[in-house]
Structure 1
């Protein structure tokens, strides 16, 4: 999902932002969260990365997003991947999905939970889940370690956009356990792993351009200036291609008992 307050194109978002690695789905299967035939609802689906990943592994997924452009892109990608019969997409919001009570085995939010009214979204997930179903929240973050390309890129974003406050992340979100507990979810579990995501230089520049801190905050000329400085920084400090960018997968889930 993209922040609904900014207008980076869904095409840019889909082209450059990598989806969750296969290990996430292996972990979900191991934890009995994912199995063939389940009905999944993906909140803040964006271009449908998580919903399509679930569908490719046998689930039937409905992805909701408030942005019409994102929904259209998700439908195109599902069609291109041969998943249109298992992954559907529509406009909708996490806090009020307009879906029936107890209709889903799994509710997911990938790269999106921080955009929601979290209490309302968790309560809505509880409503639409079947007994024995689960709410899964997962994130896939670059990890800015001193001296690596993510760390250097964050400093550059902050130089161009001093109001940006999404850097210095660790890839862990323990506060989300409280969201689940307050909504009545039980047997809360955590999982995750580190993953080196390979980006071509062009795709890394595109990935950063499509982020809220750059494309979502800077005007056209300012974005062009940022890209020129990012390109020069990569030439000087990180000339390898592709770039191995450390990322962390984090997942938390709770069950409706």
Structure 2
């Protein structure tokens, strides 16, 4: 599968894709990864959901993303919330930030798109001594019989090249990326929870995924969405939906 065009999903991404739950931010604070006043670099920021959440909790945040549409949406949403966040177009592998400038580098829902040799080395370069690289995911869980399971099968029917379904929400291999970059004190945490989506928002959330809006032509997206709406009405009539999700986090520190 070729690299997705995230700018094509920015409207749906901004409107329908829910961010990490408050418990996640409580967790990283309890683990000593975050405190108000920290300087944070959010790489692969998307529409800035994590950047905005951390800024609202008192961080000084810079967010970068390779997709211009995502950065534009992130700036607009931050402005609407009255948050002073700097957003730039840049790559995780060449972020353009000064050496040793950040207490925390965050990569949310994006590490698998990066060069896993270059990105951790670049994150280490911009971290202060003792600063942490935090890789985190907030994934729907395609449990058999669930709405996420059914939606994934529909994505595969419309986009046979898509190979990112049926995940476990666990990413232990990221620990090797950190270790080989020289980060230490590697640790994991996470939890399962349910996210509430209306039918409309779930359709938008799925359209914003890498297998649909970021990969298909607009007419193909429209055909998928019409069939998805019919599927939800027939098989999952409850509205809103309760969608199982898993939060996973792994981190390591610059010695």
Is the TM value for this pair above 0.5? yes
Give the 5 Å matches for 1:1-257: 5-84=5-84, 87-257=85-255
**Is contact 1:198-1:243 (8 Å) kept?**
yes
Residue deviations 1:41-100, cap 9 Å, x none?
01011111111111111111100111222111111111111212xx21111110011111
TM-score w.r.t. length of structure 2: 0.96
Contact residue 7 and residue 215 of structure 1 kept, 8 A: no
TM-score by length of 1: 0.96
Shift in CA distance, 7/53, structure 1 to aligned 2, threshold 3 Å: closer
Answer whether contact 2:39 2:103 (CA < 8 A) is retained.
yes
C-alpha distance 137-102 of structure 1, shift in aligned 2 (>3 A): same
3-state SS in 2 of match to 1:118:
coil
Are the aligned partners of 1:4 and 1:67 in contact in 2 as well (CA < 8 Å)?
no
* Pairwise CA distance, 1:4: 5.2
Structure 1 residues 143 and 104: alpha-carbon distance in aligned structure 2, compared to 1, 3 A threshold: same
In structure 2, list runs of 5 or more residues that go unmatched. Answer: none
SS, match of residue 107 in structure 1: strand
1:157/1:9 CA distance change after superposition, 3 Å: closer
Which 5+ residue runs of structure 1 have no aligned equivalent? none
Q: Does the CA contact (< 8 Å) of 2:140 and 2:246 recur in 1?
A: yes
